[in-house]
Amino acid sequence: MQDDKAVQFFEEVLSKTRAGKIRWEPTAIESDYIAAVAGQFTLSVAEYERQIRYIGQHIMAHSLALKDQEGRTLTTVTDTDDGIPEGDMSELYETARRQALHVDEKIDNLLGELSKL
């Protein structure tokens, strides 16, 4: 069954992340990134390996979790949840990762250096 609130939450996080409004940070675990919002909530995106049923093949899956000020997990959205368009969760993860690691700035920096060679 589709959780409309969770879908709305995911879409808003994706939209704000695309707009660069959320300050994602790397963590001690390479596949996890976090962001604190409004002084009350923590968001985290994670990449993990998931086994496809019946086939047994492993694929990379992604999740978005919301925690409150006390550190309780309020909701977790994954790419297999109803109402999450295919590819959107991996886009969120990849965008958050790039922002947390400042990938674009570093590539621009490198391009600047390369142009001087």
Partner 1 sequence: MIDFLAGNWGNVASLAGLVFSILAFIFSKRASIAAREARDATLLRSLSEEMNAANRNAGEIVTYVGMGRGDMALLRTSELMNQTSYFMARWDNRISEGSKNNLLSVREQLHFIHDVLTKSPVADLSPKAKTQLAQACQRVNATFSEEYGRSVKASESERGNAGR
Q: How far is the CB of 59 from partner 1 (least distance, A)?
A: 23
Number of H helices, E strands in the chain: 3, 5
CB of 20 to partner 1, least distance (A): 16
CB of 28 to partner 1, least distance (A): 4
- Region label for 95, one of left (φ > 0), alpha (ψ between -120 and 50) or beta (otherwise): alpha
Q: How many residues does the structure list for the chain?
A: 117
Residue 39 or 112: which CB sits closer to partner 1? 39
32 vs 47 by CB, closer to partner 1: 32
Residue number with CB closer to partner 1 (2 or 21): 21
Q: Supply 54's token pair.
A: 């019946």
Q: What is the CA radius of gyration of the chain?
A: 16
- Residues in contact with partner 1 by the rule CB under 8 A: 23, 25-30, 32, 34-42, 44, 67, 69-71
Nearer to partner 1, 39 or 87 (CB): 39
**Coil/strand/helix, residue 52:** coil
